[in-house]
């Protein structure tokens, strides 16, 4: 499945015991496997309708994905693995309980609005190795002699957002992204977003995802961009973030939860050899 081009392989893990990390590396490989940005595993939950495990393409486990949780919701609801309450589905994730409002077309889930929770802005919660009062805005990060000003936000996983005034397509993300991902300032590594504010309701962006590389979209990244942009005073409460794979809708009033809206689509189904 994919959400705005951010693609995932999804499996029902309730009846199987696997080394999910190794399986993710094998299945997600773009040349030698099926190919995906990550692997989502559906498990039973005592706290919610279902539990989601997320493994990046490099086998590392991640806390949360905004695009992934929409794919997960479609997988468990359309597949009968979880029963929503009307159009509401509670999902247990590594970042806590996530509330998903389903958008349907007939009997199929085609999109969702996700309560992504309150952004975490304290350095220790992101984490980022600096001592200053939150929020951490325009922190200079040095890479190969150049300094990039980043604004740091956690949406259950760490993000560093760099604003530019030129088209994001021109930014050397493949060179800079991996260096910032593993910069010593970020003890848990970091997702790196480059964003350009078009106007107070529109932003364009690209993302270098921790453990994956550049992706066509990043839901938590879009949330982090929205938070950073609003804290800077660049935008209002509602923003569309245009990423290479599609458009995501963001709402944040500056105080409570960030809400993320976007599509989800099934690409194919198949079997992986044992």
Q: What is the mean pLDDT of the chain?
A: 97
Give the per-residue pLDDT at 33.
Answer: 96
Largest CA distance in the chain: 55
CA distance 205 to 203: 7
Give the per-residue pLDDT at 274.
Answer: 73
**Domain shared by 171 and 227, yes or no:** yes
| pLDDT tens digits, 112-166 | 999 999 999 999 999 999 999 999 999 999 999 999 999 999 999 999 999 999 9
Which among 229, 251, 190, 222 is positioned nearest to 5, based on CA atoms? 222
Q: Which domain holds residue 45?
A: 2-116
Q: What is the mean pLDDT of residues 177-205?
A: 98
Number of C-beta neighbours around residue 31 at 10 A: 5
**Domain shared by 242 and 137, yes or no:** yes
| pLDDT tens digits, 63-102 | 999 999 999 999 999 999 999 999 999 999 999 999 999 9
**Domain shared by 33 and 103, yes or no:** yes
| pLDDT above 90 for 175 | yes
Going by pLDDT thresholds of 50, 70 and 90, the confidence category of residue 168 is very high
**Domain shared by 87 and 187, yes or no:** no
Give the per-residue pLDDT at 273.
Answer: 87
**Domain shared by 252 and 170, yes or no:** yes
Tell me the two tokens of residue 17. Answer: 């015991």
| pLDDT tens digits, 236-273 | 999 999 999 999 999 999 999 999 999 999 999 999 98
- Are the C-beta atoms of 68 and 38 separated by less than 8 Å? yes
Domain total for the chain? 2
């Amino acid at each position: 499945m994919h959400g705005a081009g951010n693609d995932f392989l999804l499996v029902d893990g309730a009846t199987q015991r696997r080394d999910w990390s190794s399986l993710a590396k094998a299945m997600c490989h773009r040349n030698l496997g099926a190919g995906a940005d990550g692997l989502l595993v559906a498990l039973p939950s005592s706290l919610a309708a279902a539990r989601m495990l997320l493994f990046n393409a490099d086998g590392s486990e991640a806390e949360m994905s905004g695009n992934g949780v929409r794919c997960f919701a479609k997988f468990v609801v359309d597949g009968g693995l979880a029963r929503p309450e009307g159009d509401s589905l509670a999902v247990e994730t590594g970042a806590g309980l996530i509330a998903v409002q389903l958008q349907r077309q007939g009997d199929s889930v085609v999109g969702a609005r996700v309560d992504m929770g309150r952004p975490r802005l304290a350095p220790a919660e992101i984490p980022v190795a600096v001592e200053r009062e939150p929020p951490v805005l325009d922190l200079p990060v040095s890479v190969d002699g150049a300094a990039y000003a980043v604004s740091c936000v956690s949406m259950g996983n760490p993000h560093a957002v760099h604003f530019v005034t030129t088209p994001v397509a021109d930014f050397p993300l493949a060179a800079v992204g991996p260096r910032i991902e593993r910069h010593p300032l970020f003890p848990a590594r970091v997702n790196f977003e480059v964003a350009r504010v078009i106007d107070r309701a529109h932003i364009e962006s690209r993302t270098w995802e921790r453990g994956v590389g550049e992706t066509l979209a990043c839901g938590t990244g879009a949330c982090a961009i929205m938070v950073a942009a609003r804290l800077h005073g660049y935008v209002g409460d509602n923003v569309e973030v245009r990423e290479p794979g599609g458009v995501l809708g963001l709402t944040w009033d500056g105080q409570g939860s960030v809400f993320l809206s976007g599509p989800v689509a099934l690409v194919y189904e198949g079997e992986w050899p044992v």
